[in-house]
Chains A and B, each alone.
Chain A
């Protein structure tokens, strides 16, 4: 696998167990990071549509939120993506360096009053596209689980 510049990848010692990617807080690197993770997951047997669409959109959202809101777009910071593959699931953990937030406080974006808002759909899409989504207590790490079948 050819690694994109500036993305630091660390593989687990057990083959197939997963890997971690450290992404500098630069929105210009989001597409590369998403592509790297998606290609690896596709090669590991994730169904093509789930790798092509669900995973890419959800990871893109999580990275953008982490860079913009978590790390306040500070270029000296980074976002850590941890990928774990099991027989049945793909688990993505995305952690930023920020103070965290309360995901329960994010408003529903599909209500009529907010339908023409230009933002606020990221977390909603993640919840729609992944099978399970939860956060750590601090609120600076999202865990997204996608079934492999």
Chain B
């Protein structure tokens, strides 16, 4: 499991990639990466799940928390690259109604 953080300078979007799982054992690391970007003045965050295996409820909870925080700070968190299993998780929990979920990272970037 690892996280990658890069910035699309043209769009001003910080892209956080999750390689592996987003679960109870590493959720705080994702939270810190996003909060660090927020503290640096970033207001557009894209979480890329293209290389993510599975997410548990702790991971979902961190995403909810970060989305709230981003809104409070006048920013936006978008999600992209979810496979069918991950989409199912968001649909089951109805969290697909809370997030902007886009098929591909490129599509998400274009929409910011």
B98 to chain A, nearest CB (A): 6
A135 at the interface (CB under 8 A from B): no
B79 to chain A, nearest CB (A): 15
Dominant SS among interface residues on chain A: helix
A64 at the interface (CB under 8 A from B): yes
Contact: A31 with B92, CB < 8 Å? no
Please choose the segment from A7-15, A81-89, A119-127 that sits at the chain B interface, where 4 or more of its residues have CB less than 8 A away: A119-127
A128 at the interface (CB under 8 A from B): yes
Give Cα distance in the complex from A124 to B54, angstroms.
16
A76 at the interface (CB under 8 A from B): no
The interface residues of chain A lying within 8 Å CB-to-CB of B24 are 27, 30, 60, 64, 68
The interface residues of chain A lying within 8 Å CB-to-CB of B85 are 49, 52-53
As a 0/1 sequence over residues 57 to 71 of chain B, the CB contacts with chain A under 8 angstroms (1 = contact) are: 110111011001000
Give Cα distance in the complex from A148 to B1, angstroms.
28
* Given A30-B25, A53-B85, A116-B64; A64-B58 close (CB under 8 Å): yes
* Given A28-B25, A49-B85; A122-B65 close (CB under 8 Å): no
* Given A115-B98, A118-B61; A125-B92 close (CB under 8 Å): yes
**Chain B interface extent, by class:** 20 to 34
**Segment 65-107 of B: residues with Cβ below 8 Å from A:** 65, 68, 85, 88-89, 92-95, 97-98
Pick from A30, A52, A128 the residue with the most CB of B within 10 Å: A30
Ranked 10 nearest A-B pairs via Cβ:
A121-B57, A118-B61, A64-B24, A122-B57, A53-B85, A60-B56, A110-B94, A118-B65, A27-B25, A128-B92
Q: Which residues of A contact B (CB under 8 A)?
A: 27-31, 49, 52-53, 56-57, 60-61, 64, 68, 109-110, 115-122, 124-125, 128
